[in-house]
Amino acid sequence: MGQDIIKTEYSEEMQKSYIDYAMSVIIARALPDVRDGLKPVQRRTLYDMYELGIKYDKPYRKSARIVGDTMGKYHPHGDSSIYDALVVMSQDFKKGLPLVDGHGNFGNIEGDGAAAMRYTEARLAKATQTALLEDLDKDVVDFIPNFDETEKEPSILPCKFPNLLVNGTEGIAVGMATSIPPHNLGEVIDAFKAYLKDDTISTRSLMKYCKGPDFPTGGIVTNQEELLSIYETGIGKIKIRGKVDIEKGKNGKINVVISEIPYTMIGANIGKFLQDVASLAESKKTMDIVDISNQSSKAGIRIVIELKKDANAENFINLLYKKTKLEDTFGVNMLAIADGRPETMGLKRILKECADFQYEVTTRKYTNMLQKEQQKKEIQEGLIKACNVIDLIIEILRGSKDRAMAKACLVEGNTKGIKFKYKESRLMAEQLRFSEAQANAILEMRLYKLIGLEVDALIKEHEETMANIFRYEDILARRDSMTQVIINELDQIKKEFAVKRRTVLDNCEEAVVEEVKVAEMDIVFLMDRFGYAKTIDMATYERNLETISQEFRFVLKCKNTGKICLFTNLGVLHTIKSSALPMGKFRDKGVPIDNVSGFDSSNEDVIAVMSQSDLNLYRILFVTRMGMCKLVDGGEFDVAKKSVASTKLNQDDEIVSVTPIFNQKNVVFKTNDNYMLKFPIDEISIMKKASVGVRGMRLNSRDYVTDVYFTTVEGRTTIETDGKKIELDSIRCGKRDGKGAKIK
């Protein structure tokens, strides 16, 4: 069997494949369509519920049934993405207008997740059925094949209002992301109506109706003056604060009560906020906090911070705005799919796209309805005409041999083969010219329709049909009439589903905090061999000198306002603020050093501990297991980052010693095979921290440096190794990069 081999440039094929993949993610998964404000997974889930008949006035159905049906028919991308979409559409603290009515545990504002899909139930919300799905049976949108072409699904839902603005959205695609805040339904509808009446209206004028975002969590937008620019460009930052009240507490204390939170604090960030408030007290940034309690319930958010009697509550609130997520930023990027491609749109452009879509849907809807009314008119006119000559019709039916003969007579006036009582009847029958549809209706008409009242009802129904035809033709012919129809539907949606604005819009001054300055004092940093660290005051240290020297691996005198530097065997420098460590009693356990720094006790080992302020005074000597060494100016380690590389290491090498140099004269390397090399420190090069260094000692195969000692100009130095005492000053001084001598 012959095969065609197609030669192509690898880079071109990769570029094409990646672009195809990116567009698939952007269009078919991550971004919403501007017309109905839904991502494909949301649209497919709602349509599947509509198909299953899970309507707002019907019993709830298991979420697992909905998810399984949606995945099998329309969205073959895993059940978790479908269930997550279903959950979010039901959460009133995330959506301005929930589209799904959930029954069971669908998560909460504090970040607890929804129960498994086998436990929860759901059905369509009334608003969804009324405003997104109602006209699907009127051929208002195109239906496309599903992934395996066994089903049909709508390419878009006939949403009657700008859902993209009302519910907002967040999504990350390939190379782009969307973030649209939710808005108030009533305000969005008012702005939409204003645009429908005058499409030349400016964004500033539209914002008289849609004033800004309306988050389900309430809160305060503090930069109202910047909203115009955001809604014109579709890009910007909205600053939001939680709502804070001051109440009288017990015994004259002050309660700071948070009743509304920023939209960005939803979920785990509430727990983080409580931790941040607690850390303000631990780090002594405020001394006013007595107690913190989260009293939130189904009724709403209520976080109470109890302050001392003489506390400055206003200053404390400003501190919360500055140091916690109680004031946060919502990044706006109004990116959505328009005309099949992603575009960033302002408020007016979004309303324009929605308006164009509404005119298209309404045109298709009333065209379809007009056709049905015209068909009804044709049949009604035929039945009325038949009632006027009912005796002739009966004579034709009785004289015909079969249905086809009777139908031919009614449609074409063909009387061949039909027996008539009177000659006049045959002549009259030959004049009949009913249409095919009219003839079928006459042949299927039941006898009770000949009753006088039924005939009157038929005539009245025909009059209503003619009135509908006139109305539908007027709507389709005149844009003003169609606009009014759209506006009437919007008014009905607003009347039934709109709620009051929850978010306050204001121009607030930036929070200014008068921070309490901590009095500088000398403290002592202690860290035991298990990695637990703490600080104590100097008096406690002096009282327990002997015990401290026995029980703690690292002891460092420092300032409570300074920073502590941890050098590890992997060549990493971890910096900790002294204030981040608990200062307490001597027998307090302390905290794991991992909790207050980037140090990983499972992978690293602390080699040396120094005060950052002292580093600037010295040069630091690094010695590695493979005998490399260098001197680094201590000022290079005065960095803002919590964790940085303190040196560069060769493969499989690690640090064995980090020492500040001030009065040392010689350095002594000792290896695992008991070789020792002594040479002047002056022979070691001063280098940058990013360098590997120079070789300090030549090592035998498989030998490595284990210890580093020093001699000083002030006196003699004696060490003990393998049970032997060695006087370092008696060792002959050699040169750097020597092999040294073996200790006997």
> How far apart are the C-alpha atoms of 349 and 136, rounded to whole Å?
26
Q: What is the CATH number of the domain that holds 364?
A: 1.10.268.10
The residues that are catalytic are 119
Give the mean model confidence (pLDDT) for residues 353-380: 93
Are both 569 and 683 inside the same structural domain?
yes
Residue 623, pLDDT score? 95
Give the mean model confidence (pLDDT) for residues 675-698: 92
Q: How many domains are there within the chain?
A: 4
**How many residues appear in the chain?**
744
Are both 530 and 488 inside the same structural domain?
no
Q: Between 129 and 11, where is the model more confident?
A: 129
User: HSE of 263 in the Cβ direction (CA atoms, 13 Å)?
Assistant: 31
Residue 503, pLDDT score? 95
Residue 177, pLDDT score? 85
Q: Is the pLDDT of residue 619 over 60?
A: yes
Q: Which residues, at least 6 apart from 657, have a Cβ–Cβ distance to it below 8 Å?
A: 607, 608, 621, 622, 623, 707, 708
Are both 541 and 663 inside the same structural domain?
yes
Is 16 within a domain? no
Tokens 């539908």, located at residue: 472
Confidence of residue 155 (pLDDT cuts 50, 70, 90): very high
Residue 555, pLDDT score? 92
Q: What is the CATH number of the domain that holds 48?
A: 3.90.199.10
Last residue of a domain, one of 459, 476, 495: 495
Is 711 within a domain? yes
Q: Is the pLDDT of residue 585 over 60?
A: yes
Helix residue ranges per DSSP H, 565-607: none
Confidence of residue 18 (pLDDT cuts 50, 70, 90): low
Give the mean model confidence (pLDDT) for residues 401-421: 82
Is 140 within a domain? yes
Q: What is the CATH number of the domain that holds 302?
A: 3.30.1360.40
> How far apart are the C-alpha atoms of 162 and 350, rounded to whole Å?
8
Residue 263, pLDDT score? 94
Q: What is the CATH number of the domain that holds 619?
A: 2.120.10.90
Residue 60, pLDDT score? 96
Out of 288-297, 308-317, 591-600, least confident range: 591-600
Are both 410 and 472 inside the same structural domain?
yes
What are the start-end ranges of the E strands in 35-86? 61-62
Is 191 within a domain? no
Give the mean model confidence (pLDDT) for residues 293-302: 87
Is 44 within a domain? yes
> How far apart are the C-alpha atoms of 97 and 99, rounded to whole Å?
6
Are both 305 and 375 inside the same structural domain?
no
Is 146 within a domain? yes
Is 608 within a domain? yes
Are both 598 and 657 inside the same structural domain?
yes
CA distances from 559 to 89, 166, 610 (A): 53, 54, 12
Are both 660 and 544 inside the same structural domain?
yes
Q: Is the pLDDT of residue 2 over 60?
A: no
Out of 145-149, 418-422, 450-454, least confident range: 450-454
Q: Is the pLDDT of residue 631 over 70?
A: yes
Last residue of a domain, one of 109, 139, 158: 158
Confidence of residue 385 (pLDDT cuts 50, 70, 90): confident
Are both 254 and 379 inside the same structural domain?
no
Q: Between 237 and 715, where is the model more confident?
A: 237
SS3 584: coil
Are both 713 and 594 inside the same structural domain?
yes
> How far apart are the C-alpha atoms of 87 and 692, rounded to whole Å?
54
Residue 390, pLDDT score? 80
Nearest Cα to Cα of residue 96 among 35, 136, 37 = 37
Is 333 within a domain? no
DSSP classification of residue 29 = I
Are both 654 and 713 inside the same structural domain?
yes
Residue 510, pLDDT score? 76
Q: What is the pLDDT of residues 72-84, one digit of tens each?
A: 999 998 899 999 9
Q: What is the pLDDT of residues 466-519, one digit of tens each?
A: 999 999 999 999 999 999 999 999 999 999 999 999 999 998 877 766 656 667
Name the phi and psi angles at 478, rounded to 5: -115, 125
DSSP classification of residue 651 = T
Q: Which residues, at least 6 apart from 531, have a Cβ–Cβ distance to it below 8 Å?
A: 592, 593, 594, 599, 601, 606
Last residue of a domain, one of 158, 183, 209: 158
Range of 92's domain? Answer: 38-158
Q: Is the pLDDT of residue 677 over 70?
A: yes
Residue 174, pLDDT score? 72
- How would you list the strands of the sheet with 169-172, edge to edge? 169-172, 177-180, 327-333, 235-241, 220-221, 504-505
Are both 547 and 639 inside the same structural domain?
yes
Residue 723, pLDDT score? 74
Residue 49, pLDDT score? 96
CA distances from 264 to 210, 241, 256, 261, 505 (A): 21, 10, 21, 8, 17
> How far apart are the C-alpha atoms of 598 and 644, rounded to whole Å?
10
Residue 450, pLDDT score? 62
Percent residues over pLDDT 70 in the chain: 95
Percent residues over pLDDT 90 in the chain: 55
Are both 429 and 541 inside the same structural domain?
no
State the chain's mean pLDDT as an integer. Answer: 88
Q: Is the pLDDT of residue 282 over 70?
A: yes
